[in-house]
Chain A
Amino acid sequence: MDAKVTTQAAAQQADILLRVNNLKTQFSTHRGTLRAVDGVSFDVRKGETFALLGESGCGKSMTALSIMRLVPQPVGRIVEGSVHLGDVDLLQRSEMDMRSVRGGRIAMIFQEPQSSLNPVLMIGEQIIESVLCHTPLKRAQAKARVLELLDAVGIPDPVRRYKEYPHQLSGGMKQRVMIAIALAGEPELLIADEPTTALDVTIQAQVLALLSDLQKQTGMAMLFITHDLGVVSDIADRIAVMYAGQIIEQAGRDTFFSKPRHPYTCKLFESLPRANKRDESLAVIEGSVPSLLTDFSGCRFVDRCDYAWDTCRQRVPRWLGNEEYGVRCHRFDGEVEQVEHKLVEKTLETKIQAQASSHTLLKVDNLKVYFPIQKGLFKRTVGYVKAVDGVSIDIAKGRTLALVGESGCGKTTVGKGILQLITPTLGRVEFDGRELTTLDKKTMRGLRSDIQIIFQDPYSSMNPRMMVKDIIAEGMIAQNTVATRGERDRRIDELLQQVGLSVDSKQRYPHEFSGGQRQRICIARALAVKPKLIICDEPTSALDISVQAQILNLLKDLQQSQGLAYLFITHNLSVVEYLAHDVAVMYLGRIVERGPVRTVFAQPAHPYTEALLSAAPTLDDESQRDVIRLEGDLPSPAAPPVGCHFNPRCPKVMEECRRLYPEKVNLDKHHIVRCHLFKKE
């Protein structure tokens, strides 16, 4: 360090807990060297929450693992840089010393609580290990400490839980256990690597609140890694944005959200779906993240940037500003000759909402899908998992109905029940005036072109052994929609262009495409048979924000031009707000509230809807919203609570909620709710 530091800088210096400087981590793969982390520098101050924001594959998790020196061996190695914790450089310490740092001074929690806990060790054992490792406590005292920790992370009945195994806990509980393990060493820094990504919105809200409470109590600093802008805006003090292995922008929370500078960050904000953008297309970042195998000679964002000029291609942009507030972009570099930008203002064409058609395309009435539970000597059926328990919805031509709910609520099963991929136990599915549940297989096969489906995971939804043209052609062949081979080929070209892919993609295999491109192919495949209704099962959940916008735009365009109806199954409320006309909220196999999106979002009636809406992190913080925190987890659909299914978690629970499942109540012509708070007039 320079001797001539100013007092102010010295004070700041003293405040800094972790200083990462020019960190580079590389992986040797059979295709070459992968520069996962490529010169990352940032500071984390005592007691603050520093968020590392980025899309998948940008190197944010690897940065965290590098700090812990847990980079997967032997393929990965840290090749350059320093990581100072206080005044020790962790990268220079021996493996032996490092062990007291891991779990001691720095603790870490991971994305998948499911796989991150050892399945065959008791919860208590997994926590006590850490206590024994980092505190001088003896086993008996340590056990008391573990119970204390379990209590601190909000796990009820710690004595019993101590002896339980991970599989006996819900996802949220497991993440709490992970946090307890992390707290055991009383760390100065907690690295949280996407800790809430695998959790449902209401559980996410619980965990985030827990983390900030704990931070207040212990004064530890947090390095929070996430891809979710909403979460960042909720908890971060300072934010760094990573793109392709580098930090491209860094700022304090308020500055970051009010004055984003890097073209990438700006675009990210614009591409978020929101209610007020309903009538326009979302901004999209064209293309995809460059491969980290490349040896970059210019800006990494250049191919996707609206402002890029020659300099951006020829010279690597330098870091402008300090560790507090900075950006890596030539546009802000005084030493780089700027060019006049004549930005082609993309006309955000105003979308005319499809006229609400009175023609009901799909009418689902009292749909039930039960899976039997078999037990005993002769596998008697002793009960049912009521995955879908009396769902009624209808969708008009050209409209979108969003089916919203947390994981395990049965929303995907509804989709499959409509498609007759699962035979419904009871109820009617009427499509275009025909009852589907009673059709024989052959007749049903003939009708299959009318309803199609798009899946969540773009990687498993296409046969990796087939070429794109064969994938798209499959439905046409099965449904005999085109007569000749030539006509089919023409149609494939047409479809590929329609979803925004080049015609020569048809000769390639799925693995050659990115997630977003694959999802386009899936859409083309569905369109090939000219469906009237597409069931979209979380089609954007596995995609990054910038890619999500591309897909949402495409879906919206297609609805406009072809009059498609969508059943949009999702847990993402902002997507619903942007895309759907009507919404149905599902809880434990039943729809608890249903109505037009505007009405439901503006005046949610059911306490669950209210909680969902409040729990979803948003950027619009005009009114530091009150998060209604739901207690507990989604109960098992095999043994739903007596009375209203929601009563154990409901903040407004009343006596009769514990006895009776509420009847349907029409709040107005379209708005229906099932809750005892509302009485039939």
Chain B
Amino acid sequence: MLAYIARRLLYAIPILVGVNLITFALFFVVNSPDDVARVHLGGKHVTEEAMTKWKADRGYDKPLFYNPDASGADKFRETIFFDKSARLFVFDFGAADDGRDIAYDIRQRMWPSLAIAIPSLLVGLLVNITIAMILAFFRASYIDIAGVIMGVVLMSISSMFYIIGGQYLVSKSLHLVPISGYDDGVNAIKFLILPVIVGLIGGIGSGTRWYRTIFLEEINRDYVRTARAKGLLESSVLFKHVLKNAMIPILTGVVVILPILFMGSLITESFFGIPGLGSYVIDAIQAQDFAIVRAMVFLGSVLYIVGLILTDISYTLVDPRVRLN
């Protein structure tokens, strides 16, 4: 087991190097630091001095990969690549354009993101699985057909309309909870209810559909016939035999996104004004703050890879057939 995890971690290194190279290429090779500086400083008529200063402030005035002016190992260390990309490996994210410490901001903003993401995930799982079970139980009846069509309809609505609709109905017309904003501690709840509910409704369509397919696939298997031939109740066939098998793809599907939950939801956080990592990214994009985007890309990749490893481990926990080696 440990050897397996160690091996997976080793495999993660080349992937992270790849991610790093891709981001580096995107941010520094597609456009030279000069180009970026010019755009940031507002167009064509930018003085040379302003540009030099802008670059120096952000450490973009070094060569990309190799610094012939430096000595020894500094030839490689005194470069943009080392400063901006290689340092990411030790989670040294540096400072944003406005001078704030990115790592500090991420640590701060992670919690509001989680405060929305975790309840949304749990409530969503519970509701979606329940509905999917009901549909599977009444498979091929009118309840099932109506449920499936309803699911397609719900799926066809953009998530933004759920948010706008929810804000209009609940906050603006009924004045039940604030439209947007955030507070610390228990006070946060009144700001979180609406995003969670909206997220739930927005996800019901695709969620139930996915789980229903899994259930139906399991229901058609031979062992279910065996269970029925034993004379078990249909409900215990469904809950004990089918659910237990269906939980394998469901759980592992959830585990892979667990780490990503930290990253928050861009749209939800932005609409509801929640100071999480999602809105952090949006703000960075709108301010064209590349340092933050770069840091978040790297962090996202790390979390995704952690998710993959956790998925493999969770397989061994829920599926007796899988052994790690």
Task: Find chain B residues with CB under 8 A from A352 CB.
Answer: none
Q: Is B40 on the interface with A (CB-CB < 8 A)?
A: no
**Complex Cα–Cα for A27 and B248 (A):** 32
Q: Does A357 contact B (CB under 8 A)?
A: no
* Extra pairs beyond A102-B229, A102-B231 (6, CB < 8 Å): A107-B229, A108-B229, A119-B223, A129-B227, A165-B321, A178-B226
Chain A residue contacts of B244, Cβ below 8 A: 118, 120-121
Tell me how many residues of B have a C-beta within 8 Å of chain A: 27
- Count contacts on A: residues with CB < 8 A to the other chain: 36
Is B90 part of the binding interface, using a Cβ–Cβ cutoff of 8 Å? no
Judging by beta carbons under 8 Å apart, are A74 and B223 in contact? no
- Contact code string B2-32 (vs A, CB < 8 Å = 1, else 0): 0100110010000000000000000000000
Chain B residue numbers with a CB within 8 Å of A101 are: 231
Per the 8 Å Cβ criterion, residues 200-235 of B in contact with A are 221-223, 225-233
- Is the C-beta of B43 less than 8 angstroms from some C-beta in chain A? no
- Which single residue of chain B is at the shortest CB-CB distance from A108? B229
User: Is B73 an interface residue when CB atoms closer than 8 A count as contact?
Assistant: no
CB-CB under 8 A from A133, the residues of chain B are 230-232
> Does B186 have its Cβ within 8 Å of any Cβ on chain A?
no
* Majority SS at the chain B contact face: helix
Chain A 121-143 interface mask (CB, 8 Å, partner B; 1/0): 10000000110011000000000
A101 to B231 CA separation, bound complex (whole angstroms): 7
A117 touches B321 (CB 8 A): no
Q: Given A102-B230, A104-B231, A108-B229, verify A116-B320 contact (CB < 8 Å).
A: no
B71 within 8 A of A: no
**In the complex, per-residue mask of B131-172: 1 if CB is within 8 Å of any chain A CB, else 0:** 000000000100000000000000000000000000000000
Report Cα–Cα, A274/B225, bound state, in Å. 38
B245 contacts A118, CB within 8 Å? yes
Bound-complex Cα distance A665 to B240 (A): 57
- Determine if B227 and A118 form an interchain contact, defined as CB atoms under 8 angstroms apart: yes
B320 pairs with A165, CB closer than 8 A: yes
A519 to B161, CA, bound (A): 58
User: What is the minimal beta-carbon distance from B219 to any residue of chain A, in angstroms?
Assistant: 10
Are A116 and B230 neighbours in the complex by a CB distance under 8 Å?
no
Q: Which of A73, A134, A165 contacts B231 (CB 8 A)?
A: A134
Contact status of A100 and B10, CB under 8 A, knowing A115-B222, A116-B223, A118-B223: no
Residue of B nearest to A68 (CB): B229
* Contact B325–A375 (Cβ < 8 Å): yes
B233 contact set on A, CB distance < 8 A: 99
Kindly state whether residue A185 has any CB partner on chain B within 8 Å: yes
Q: How far is the CA of A74 from the CA of B10 in the complex (A)?
A: 51
Cα-based distance from A644 to B99 in the complex (angstroms): 76
- CB-CB nearest in chain B for A184: B230
**Residue contact B229 to A120, C-beta cutoff 8 Å:** no
Q: Which of A87-123 contact B (CB under 8 A)?
A: 98-104, 107-108, 110, 112, 115-121
B245 to A120, Cβ gap below 8 A? yes
Instruction: Find chain A residues with CB under 8 A from B183 CB.
Output: none
B241 contacts A by Cβ under 8 Å: yes
With an 8 A cutoff between CB atoms, is B35 at the interface? no
Nearest CB of chain B from residue A382's CB, rounded to whole Å: 10
Question: How many Å lie between the Cα of A103 and that of B229 in the bound state?
Answer: 6
Question: Considering the complex, which residues of chain A in the window 132-169 have a beta carbon less than 8 Å from any beta carbon of chain B?
Answer: 133-134, 165, 167
Asked whether B319 is an interface residue with its Cβ less than 8 Å from the other chain, the reply is yes
B320 interface neighbour in A73, A110, A119, A134, Cβ under 8 Å: A119
Which of A100, A118, A376 lies at the interface centre, i.e. has the most chain B CB atoms within 10 A of its CB? A118
Contact between A130 and B230, CB atoms less than 8 A apart: yes
> Is A115 a contact partner of B223 (Cβ separation < 8 A)?
yes
Contact between chains at A112 and B222 (CB < 8 Å): yes
From B3, B223, B240, B248, contact of A117 by CB (8 A):
B223
Q: Is the CB of A129 within 8 A of B230?
A: yes
B232 touches A129 (CB 8 A): yes
| Distance A99 CA – B325 CA, assembled complex (angstroms) | 43
Per-residue interface assignment for chain B, residues 303 to 325, with 1 indicating a CB less than 8 Å from any chain A CB and 0 otherwise: 00000000000000011110001
A9 sits at the interface (CB 8 A): no
**Residues of chain A contacted by B221 (CB below 8 angstroms):** 115
Binding site for B on A (CB under 8 A): 68, 70, 73-74, 98-104, 107-108, 110, 112, 115-121, 129-130, 133-134, 165, 167, 178, 181, 184-185, 375-378
Nearest first, the 5 A-B pairs at minimum CB distance are A103-B231, A102-B231, A103-B230, A115-B222, A165-B320
A167 touches B230 (CB 8 A): no
Q: How far is the CB of B307 from chain A (nearest CB, A)?
A: 22
- A-contacting residues of B (Cβ < 8 Å)? 3, 6-7, 10, 140, 221-223, 225-233, 240-241, 244-245, 248, 318-321, 325
Q: Which residues of B contact A117 (CB under 8 A)?
A: 223, 226
Chain A contacts for B231, CB-based, 8 A: 98-104, 130, 133-134, 185
A184, B259: Cα distance in complex, Å: 46
Residues in B whose Cβ lies below 8 Å from that of A185: 230-231
A residues in contact with B232, CB < 8 Å: 99, 103, 129, 133
B189 to chain A, nearest CB (A): 38
B242's closest neighbor in chain A, by CB? A118
Smallest Cβ-Cβ distance to B318: which chain A residue: A120
Least distance between B250 CB and chain A CB atoms (Å): 13
Q: Give the chain A neighbours of B7 by CB distance below 8 A.
A: 376-378
CB-defined A-B contacts under 8 Å, sample of 11: A70-B228, A103-B230, A115-B221, A115-B222, A118-B241, A120-B319, A121-B240, A121-B241, A165-B321, A181-B230, A377-B3
Name, among A98, A102, A120, the residue most crowded by chain B CB atoms within 10 Å (CB to CB): A120
Q: Are A167 and B226 in contact (CB under 8 A)?
A: no
The answer to whether A181 and B226 touch across the interface, beta carbons within 8 angstroms, is: yes
Q: Which residue of B lies closest to A106 (CB)?
A: B229
Least distance between A412 CB and chain B CB atoms (Å): 24
CA of A377 to CA of B9, assembled, Å: 10
Residue among A116, A121, A184 making CB contact with B225, cutoff 8 Å: A116
Q: Does B245 contact A119, Cβ atoms closer than 8 Å?
A: yes
CB <8 Å contact, B225 and A70: yes
B3 touches A376 (CB 8 A): yes
- Closest residue on chain A to residue B6 by CB atoms: A377
Residues of A within 8 A of B245 (CB): 118-120
Bound Cα distance A130, B226 (Å): 11
In the complex, chain B residues whose CB is within 8 Å of the CB of A165:
320-321
What residues of B have a CB within 8 angstroms of the CB of A98 in the complex?
A: 231
Chain A residue numbers with a CB within 8 Å of B319 are 119-120
Q: Across the interface, which residues of B come within 8 angstroms of A110, CB to CB? A: 222, 225-226
- The one of B3, B227, B229, B320 that contacts A167, using a Cβ cutoff of 8 Å: B320
Q: How far is the CB of B290 from chain A (nearest CB, A)?
A: 38
The smallest beta-carbon distance between A389 and chain B, in angstroms, is: 24
Q: Which residues of A have CB within 8 Å of B10? A: 377
Q: Which residue of A lies closest to B224 (CB)?
A: A118
Q: A100-B231, A129-B232 are in contact. Are A116 and B3 (CB under 8 A)?
A: no
Whether the pair B228, A116 counts as a contact (CB closer than 8 A) is no
Q: Nearest chain A CB to B232's CB is how many angstroms away?
A: 6
Q: Which residue of B lies closest to A374 (CB)?
A: B325
Instruction: A184 to B227: give the CA distance in the assembly, Å.
Output: 13
> Which B residues touch A378, using CB under 8 A?
7
Nearest CB in chain A: distance from B78 CB, A? 36
- Of A101, A104, A121, chain B has the most CB atoms within 10 Å of the CB of A121
Bound complex: CA of A567 vs CA of B102, how far in Å? Answer: 71
**B321, closest chain A residue (CB):** A167
Known contacts A110-B225, A115-B222, A377-B7, A120 near B230 by CB under 8 Å: no
Q: How far, in whole Å, are A110 and B231 apart by their CA atoms in the complex? A: 15
Question: In the bound complex, what is the Cα–Cα distance between A73 and B10 (angstroms)?
Answer: 50
Q: How far is the CA of A377 from the CA of B1 in the complex (A)?
A: 10
* Beta-carbon contact of A119 and B222 below 8 Å: no
Q: Which residue of B lies closest to A178 (CB)?
A: B226
Query: From residue B205, how far is it (CB to closest CB) to chain A in Å?
Result: 25
**A118 in contact with B320 given A74-B140, A99-B231, A377-B3 (CB within 8 Å):** no
Using known A-B contacts A103-B229, A130-B230, determine if residue A116 contacts B222 with beta carbons closer than 8 Å: yes
Chain B contacts for A129, CB-based, 8 A:
227, 230, 232, 240
The reply to whether A70 and B229 form a contact with Cβ atoms under 8 Å apart is yes
A133-B245 Cα distance, complex, nearest whole Å: 21
